[in-house]
Amino acid sequence: MLMDTPDEMLASAAANGDRVAFATLVGRHYERIHALAWRLTGSRTEAEDLAQDICAALPAKLRNWRGEARFTTWLYRVIVNAAHDLRRRQATRTRAALGWGDWELARQAEIATLAEANDWLAQAMTRLSPELRDTVALVLGEEMTQAEAGLVLGVSEGTIAWRMSEVKKRLRAMAREEAK
């Protein structure tokens, strides 16, 4: 019976302390959380960690659930924000790390090269700015409409459309380079 209950009802029940509803909800959406986390970070490990962080934080976050949007939209927003926080933390760490001496520099360089994995997707994604990456993750990866993606990212539909055209440009440039 719970299997058929819409997300939004489950979320409201969970926010009110309904344990079964919460378990159903988080079980239903874990794959989705993980997949978007992967699309946003490009790393399996980070996706796992991020998904776990999000699951752990969901009970607290659900207290602010007011049923004003579709649950998935709300959830996407949570995921995207968590990914942004992760990026910020990583950036801070990287900055803090610089200046630890040569060993650390060597390690940072090594990590940086590791991040540029060899497959096409990673190359394509690293060419995109974080904003563009988020946008393609939602529009292409999650097959959202530009309006939905705008809702999640907190920008207008027009901005999403512009970003997608930017993405096309970058991909074209990349293809040209490869052709050389």
Partner 1 sequence: MTDDLETLRAALKSAPAPEYDAKTRALRLAMQNFDRLHDASQGSAEPDLAGDDPPQGAVASNGVRRMLGFLTLRPVLAVTTSTAALVIGVAVILPMADLRLPGGSGPVTHQAPEPALATDTPTAKTAAAPDGLTGEADSRGQIAATKAEPMAEALAAPLAATDTVDVVPPPAPTVNAPGGLSPLRMAAPGGSADGTAGDIAAAESIVAPLPDMAQPGLPDTEAHANVAPNPVKVTVEDSVSTFPIDVDTASWALIRSSLNRGKMPAPDRVRIEEMVNYFPYAYSAPTPEATFSTTVSVMPTPWNPGTRLVTIGIQGALPAMTDRPPLNLVFLIDTSGSMGGPDRLRLLTGSLALMLPVLRPEDQLAIVAYAGSAGLVLPPTAATDSAAILAALDNLAAGGATAGGAGLELAYQVAEGMKAEGEISRILLATDGDFNMGTSDPDGIEALVAKRRETGTYMSVLGFGRGNLDDAKMQALAQNGNGRASHIETLSEARKALADQLTGALFPIADDVKIEVEWNPAKVAEYRLIGYESRALRRENFNNDRVDAGQIGAGTQVTAIYEVTAPGPDSLLNNPLRYGPAAEIGASTEELGFLRLRWKAPGAETSTLIETPITGLEEATEETRFAAAIAGFGQLLQGSAHLGNWGWDQAIDLAARNRGDDPFGYRAEALKLMRLAQSLAAN
CB neighbours of 7 closer than 8 A, spacing ≥ 6?
Answer: 25, 28, 29, 70, 71, 72
CB atoms within 10 A of CB 77: 15
Quick check: 44 and 38 in contact, CB under 8 A? yes
Please name the helix (run of DSSP H) or strand (run of DSSP E) that holds residue 156, with its range, or none: none
Comparing CB distances to partner 1, the nearer of 98 and 107 is: 107
Q: How far is the CB of 2 from partner 1 (least distance, A)?
A: 8
Comparing CB distances to partner 1, the nearer of 6 and 112 is: 112
Q: How far is the CB of 89 from partner 1 (least distance, A)?
A: 6
Angle at alpha carbon of residue 9, lines to 4 and 15, rounded to 5°: 130
Comparing CB distances to partner 1, the nearer of 6 and 63 is: 63
Structure tokens that stand for 43 in this block = 């790393």
Comparing CB distances to partner 1, the nearer of 6 and 66 is: 66
Looking up tokens 């919460």 gives 22
Q: How far is the CB of 143 from partner 1 (least distance, A)?
A: 8
Q: How far is the CB of 115 from partner 1 (least distance, A)?
A: 9
CB atoms within 10 A of CB 19: 10
Comparing CB distances to partner 1, the nearer of 93 and 156 is: 93
Distance CA 76, CA 10 (A): 17
Q: How far is the CB of 119 from partner 1 (least distance, A)?
A: 8
